[in-house]
Structure formats: structure tokens, C-alpha cells
């Protein structure tokens, strides 16, 4: 079980499917303490997952600022909702890794 999860996490990393990589690594933490290799995989998974969301947040924030300066309030409202969604995902992802590390 653990060997398969580690293997699939490595495959997910190569495929740049970091959400699935996180899922495989979380499965491992349910069964055994993490080895150094496992910890590195977990770190890579969350780093890339968070990095992608941070990049999305920066892009949406930049677009939002541009729309504010152009006085397009209808678009700004939609962008605020979208930015809040990304912020929620970021917070949930960070809380998830803290929960995993606390349980470890």
C-alpha cells in the first residue's frame, strides 16, 4: 500500500498533478510515519500546489486593480468573489498541511 502510494505520488509529480500527489502522500501519513523521502515528496506536493494558487491570486489581484482603475465596478465585484475563492483554497491547503504535520 505505502510503496504504491509513494510510486503514484512520484508519477503524479512527473505529470505535474500536484493535487493528486498530495492525496497520495496523505494516504501514506494515515498508515506509517513519514521517511525523509516521504517528507520531501510531501513538501514538493504542497509547495507546488500552493505556488500555483499564489500565482493565480497574484494574477487575479492584478486584473482586479486594473479594473478598479478603469472604473468597471461590475467586473471588480466578480473578481473580488473569484479572488476570495482562491484565498479560501490557499487557506484550506495551508490548514491541511498543518494538520498533517501536527498529526505526524
Distance CA 21, CA 24 (A): 5
How does residue 1 score in pLDDT terms, banded at 50, 70 and 90? confident
pTM: 0.85
Three-state SS at 34: coil
Radius of gyration of the chain (CA): 17
Give tens-digit pLDDT for 52-80.
999 999 999 999 999 999 999 999 999 99
Domain edges within the chain: 2-103
pLDDT band at 103 (very low <50, low <70, confident <90, very high): confident
Q: Which class is domain 2-103?
A: mainly alpha
* 38 grid coordinates: 516521504
Sign of CA dihedral 4, 5, 7, 12: positive
Amino acid at each position: 500500500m505505502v510503496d504504491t502510494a509513494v510510486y503514484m505520488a512520484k508519477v503524479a509529480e512527473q505529470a505535474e498533478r500536484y493535487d493528486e500527489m498530495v492525496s497520495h502522500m496523505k494516504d501514506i501519513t494515515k498508515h506509517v510515519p513519514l521517511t525523509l523521502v516521504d517528507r520531501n515528496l510531501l513538501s514538493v506536493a504542497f509547495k507546488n500546489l500552493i505556488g500555483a494558487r499564489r500565482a493565480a491570486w497574484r494574477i487575479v489581484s492584478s486584473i482586479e486593480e486594473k479594473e478598479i482603475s478603469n472604473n468597471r465596478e461590475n467586473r471588480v465585484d466578480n473578481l473580488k468573489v473569484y479572488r476570495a475563492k482562491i484565498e479560501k483554497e490557499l487557506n484550506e491547503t495551508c490548514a491541511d498541511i498543518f494538520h498533517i504535520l501536527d498529526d505526524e
